Amino acid sequence: MQNFIKFETQSTAEKLIQSALQFKEKPFLQKELGKELRIGLIFLNPSLRTRVSTQIAAKNLGMEAIVFNIDKEGWALEFEEGVIMNENKAEHIKEAASVLGSYFDILAIRAFPTLTDKKQDMADKVIHQFIKYSQKPVVSLESSSRHPLQSLADMMSIKETWKNVSKPKIVLSWAPHVKALPHAVPNSFAEWTLGLGHDLTITQPQGYELEEQFTKGAEIEYDQEKAVADADFVYVKNWSSYHDYGKLPKVEGDWLLKDHQLKKGAKIMHCLPVRRNLELADELLDGNKSLVPLQAENRIYAAQAVLFEIISNMES
Ligand SMILES: NCCC[C@H](NC(=O)CCC(=O)O)C(=O)O
Ligand SMILES: NC(=O)OP(=O)(O)O
């Protein structure tokens, strides 16, 4: 594995989950591996979990991690090729990525979508420019289209929790929000669950269908109550419209999930940050159905498994 920007194969994903679970048992198992290596965590958007968990993961492997909030502390970046830079952008991605590539052994990038330019967002233009111009392995810390480190931690959390031999019923449920949010988390969640051979049902209001490349093979159920009634895991997340890109079509009914709609033993998941009592009710977040703290904790070991795999490939 050179770059980690999406789900690749079932066997790679399973290997990463196993490795993450092993690092959770023994975080310092490979504490010397990265001792002469440096990772740059480059943020174009805010973060709590991704930023801190990836720093801890790097430290557990003996690496130095430097965080750079490039959107606030760097020069304004130009991503277009061949333009005359006579407006407010002071530095081109060609120089920025190439210089950062010369400073670091691995680069990790967070670049949210515009939610206005669908083509650019779906092509993950920013992350691909970092790959092209840095010439270093790149890890996605959430791109326009996907959030693979989150999904790896989510798959690990499901694996740790589900002890039955039968397959769990997994539901991805749209939830209300006040803003237009990206599709990266639900896209990746669908990509990873289906890629690992799980059964997935997606419930969302009309107009909020996700891109089919991610959801092919999932059952779509517009009636949320029906979809969640017998679910073992309900992954709750808001996203804006994909087809009417970045818009917020009017929603009928109350999509805020209630504890009584779920069966006993069902688990609730969310990537965080969550808006309490808008996206998810206190009774669910604070109750025993919540896997949310486990998911957040597992972000460390998901990142550690990914960095371990990239470093192991660099050396061979
Ligand atoms: N990294 C996890 C989620 C990040 C982002 N959420 C947000 O922007 C929430 C913002 C707010 O609630 O104002 C998303 O949905 O992709
Ligand atoms: N879940 C997640 O990626 O959280 P942050 O946006 O805080 O990093």
Residuewise pLDDT in 10s, the chain (316 residues):
899 999 999 999 999 999 999 999 999 999 999 999 999 999 999 999 999 999 999 999 999 999 999 999 999 999 999 999 999 999 999 999 999 999 999 999 999 999 999 999 999 999 999 999 999 999 999 999 999 999 999 999 999 999 999 999 999 999 999 999 999 999 999 999 999 999 999 999 999 999 999 999 999 999 999 999 999 999 999 999 999 999 999 999 999 999 999 999 999 999 999 999 999 999 999 999 999 999 999 999 999 999 999 999 996 5
Q: Is residue 2 part of a domain?
A: no
Q: Which residue of 179, 272, 292 sits with most ligand 2 atoms within 8 Å of its CB, as the best mutation to test the pocket?
A: 272
**Is there a single domain that holds both residue 243 and residue 134?**
no
**Is there a single domain that holds both residue 270 and residue 309?**
no
ipTM value, please give it: 0.99
Domain that holds residue 290: 149-295
CATH of the domain at 180: 3.40.50.1370
**Is there a single domain that holds both residue 191 and residue 278?**
yes
How many Å apart are CA 283 and CA 145, to the nearest integer?
Answer: 31
Which is nearest to 99 in space by CA: 71, 121, 122, 68? 68
How many Å apart are CA 24 and CA 20, to the nearest integer?
Answer: 6
- Contact assessment for residue 269 and residue 295, using Cβ atoms and an 8 Å cutoff: yes
Strands of the chain (E only): list them. 38-43, 64-68, 77-78, 91-92, 106-110, 138-140, 169-174, 199-203, 219-220, 233-237, 267-269
Distance 36 CA to ligand 1 centre (A): 34
For 68-123, the DSSP string reads E-HHHHSPPEE-STT----SS--EEHHHHHHHHHHH-SEEEEE----SS-HHHHHT
- Contact assessment for residue 210 and residue 217, using Cβ atoms and an 8 Å cutoff: no
**Is there a single domain that holds both residue 286 and residue 303?**
no
How many Å apart are CA 316 and CA 307, to the nearest integer?
Answer: 14
**49: Cβ below 6 Å to ligand 2?**
yes
Minimum CA distance residue for ligand 1 atom 16: 182
**275: Cβ below 6 Å to ligand 1?**
yes
Q: How many domains does the chain have?
A: 2
Distance 142 CA to ligand 1 centre (A): 10
Q: Is residue 1 part of a domain?
A: no
**100: Cβ below 6 Å to ligand 2?**
no
Q: What is the arrangement of strands in the sheet containing 267-269, beginning at the earlier edge strand?
A: 219-220, 199-203, 169-174, 233-237, 267-269
